[in-house]
Amino acid sequence: MDRMIFNISKDDAGKRLDNFLKFEKGFSTRLIKKITKNDCAFINGKTAWADDILKEGDIVEILLKENKEQDIIPEDIPIDIVYEDVDILVVNKPPFMVVHPTKSHQSGTLANAVMHYFKRTNQNCIVRLINRLDRDTSGLVMIAKSQFAHQAMAKMFEKNEVKKEYIAIVKGKMEGKGTIDLPIDRPSLDSVKRCVIEGGQRAITHFEVIDSNEDISIVKLILETGRTHQIRVHLSHIGHPILGDELYGEKSSLIGRQALHAFRLTFNKLRGENKVTCTANIPYDMLDIIKKYNLDFQEGPHE
C-alpha cells in the first residue's frame, strides 16, 4: 500500500477535498470516488469525505491500494532500467521486443520482463504502460506503478507536459529544422498503415537535422502529439522515410528495422517539483550506420 501526504497551503484553503485532489494533484474522478468510498482519505488523521473543506495547515493523507491481478506471466528477461521512483519505472526497450502480450506474442515481451522485476523486488504492482513503442522502435518506455500514477502521467502526456525526443536516421539529405503539422489517420478501418489525410487527427512533429550527407540524415524529432506511427508517417510524407522502415519506405541492407529510437523523456516528478530527464543510449545498429557514413552525432550518451 502506498501513502501520499499533502500539506495544505493558504492557496488551497477553502477548496473541497475532491477538487483539490483532481485539479491540483491529478487524481481522476473515478479514483477519488474509490478512495473516499473505501475510507482511504484522511484529514488530520480523521476519515475524510469528498466534500470536506480544506483549511490552511491541514494534513491530507491518501492511501493507495494496489491489489489487482494481471494475466501477464513473469519472465526472467533482463531490462535496462533508466529511472525509477515510487510512482514510475522508465526502461530502455531494445529493438525487436513487443511491449505488451498479444495473441501472436504471448511471451518475451517487455511487460513479461517488468512483471518479473516487480515480483523480484517485492513491489505489488501490475504493468500499466503510459507510452508504447512499435516492436522495431527502440528506446524509453514509461510504466506506472499505481492507478494514480498512470492517470496523472497519462494526463501529462496528453497536455504535452512530457517532452518526447527521438533520433531517426532517414533516407536522403535533410537540412535545417522545422515543424510538420499534418493530420494523420487510417485510409480505411482495416488498414494497419496510416497516412496524411484531410480530416484526420492533427499531428505535430518538430525536427532538427543533426548531420547529413547525400545518402542519409540524422534527425532529432520532438513529438507535440502522439499519433500512431506519427514520426514514420510524417517523414515518409515529406520524402525522407526512416531507413529500414518497410511499411512506410523500403527494406535496407544497413539495418533490419526502422532506424528510430526514443532517446529522451523530460518530465516533472509526480511528488515534488523536481524535473527528471531520462536518456537512453543509442543502440549499436544505429551507431554502426552513423560511423559507416562518418557523420557527426553529439546528442546524448552512446553505448
Separation between Cα atoms, residue 19 and residue 52, nearest integer Å = 10
Residue 183: closest CA among 198, 167, 171, 173: 198
What b/e string do you get for 253-277 counting C-beta neighbours within 10 Å, with b at 16 or more? ebbebbbbbbbbbebeebeeeeeee
H helices present in the chain, as ranges: 17-19, 29-37, 110-120, 147-158, 230-237, 284-292
Pairing of strands 88-93, 2-7: unpaired
User: What residues form DSSP beta bridges with 201?
Assistant: 184
Q: Is 134 marked active-site?
A: yes
Q: Which three cell numbers stand for residue 191?
A: 488498414
Question: Per the residue annotation, which of 12, 58, 87, 134 is the catalytic one?
Answer: 134
Helix, strand or coil, per DSSP, at residue 115: helix
Buried b / exposed e over 57-96, threshold 16 CB at 10 Å, is ebebbbebebeeeeebeeeebebeebbeeebbbbbbbebe
Which are the catalytic amino acids?
134
